[in-house]
């Protein structure tokens, strides 16, 4: 007989909370794509999210149109995360969720504690929490996500910021070692595929001048947050 999935609250609630604490927010669609939950039917995950809402540990907040996101409340985890996000913070958190959980490969955002524990030579107070780990290639890479919050124009400005990201990381000895080993990358995430393609073309032409790997990805869903349609 086929083995039944374990869907008891005790089994699922803690992993769901840990996932949301890692990414700061989540959606049901993203949760369904995380490897730990892929074998769980969406209706079961939806019920568990509602259980966490009723217990006061999660809140549901509008994301765009008829879509909501879930984030922690003050009853669970870091009180600083227990609030609906400002629009810029929501955009950046959702971009990281899209890139890691709904992108072309499975990646994982690094928390402050993980950076401090596993990368002590890299971590320092005030370091932006835009780091992820990609284990899908031949070697594991530490990555920094640069989110483009603009529209169609100024692709050159976005690339300039990514170059600045590379220079900032090269200035620190721990990151220099990772760059030398080709185990560090900067990813530009933009909403528009056409803009991503233009940036990619420029990177290929100037690859000799970039010590660290710079990648480009697009997520058109970000447009709903960058330029929401008017009713």
Where along the chain do its domains lie? Answer: 9-84, 107-226
Name residues whose C-beta falls within 8 Å of residue 84's C-beta, 6 or more positions apart in sequence. Answer: 59, 61, 71, 90
- For residue 22, is pLDDT > 90? yes
According to DSSP, the β-strands at 184-190 and 213-218 are: parallel
User: Considering the entire predicted model, what is its pTM?
Assistant: 0.86
- For residue 9, is pLDDT > 80? no
Q: What are the percentages of helix, strand and coil residues in the chain, rounded to 5? A: 45, 20, 35
CA–CA gap between residue 49 and residue 27 (Å, rounded): 10
161-176 pLDDT, tens digit each: 888 898 888 888 888 8
State residue 44's pLDDT score. 95
CATH of domain 9-84: 1.10.10.10
31-62 pLDDT, tens digit each: 999 988 999 999 999 999 999 999 999 999 99
Q: What DSSP state is assigned to residue 26? A: B
């Amino acid at each position: 007989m086929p083995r039944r999935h374990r869907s008891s609250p005790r089994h699922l609630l803690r992993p769901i909370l840990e996932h949301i604490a890692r990414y700061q927010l989540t959606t049901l669609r993203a949760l369904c794509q995380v490897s730990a939950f892929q074998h769980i039917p969406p209706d079961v995950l939806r019920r568990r999210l509602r259980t966490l809402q009723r217990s006061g540990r999660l809140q549901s907040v509008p994301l765009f149109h008829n879509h909501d996101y879930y984030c922690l409340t003050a009853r669970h985890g870091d009180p600083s995360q227990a609030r609906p996000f400002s629009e810029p913070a929501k955009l950046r958190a959702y971009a990281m969720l899209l890139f890691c959980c709904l992108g072309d490969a499975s990646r994982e955002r690094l928390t402050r504690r993980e950076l401090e524990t596993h990368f002590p030579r890299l971590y320092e107070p005030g370091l932006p929490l835009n780091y992820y780990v990609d284990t899908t290639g031949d070697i594991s890479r530490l990555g920094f996500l640069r989110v483009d919050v603009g529209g169609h124009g100024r692709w050159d400005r976005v690339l300039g910021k990514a170059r600045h990201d590379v220079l900032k990381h090269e200035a620190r000895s721990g990151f220099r070692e990772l760059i030398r080993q080709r185990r560090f990358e900067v990813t530009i995430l933009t909403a528009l595929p056409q803009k991503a393609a233009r940036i990619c073309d420029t990177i290929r032409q100037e690859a000799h001048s970039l010590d660290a790997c710079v990648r480009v990805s697009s997520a058109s869903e970000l447009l709903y947050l960058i330029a929401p349609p008017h009713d």
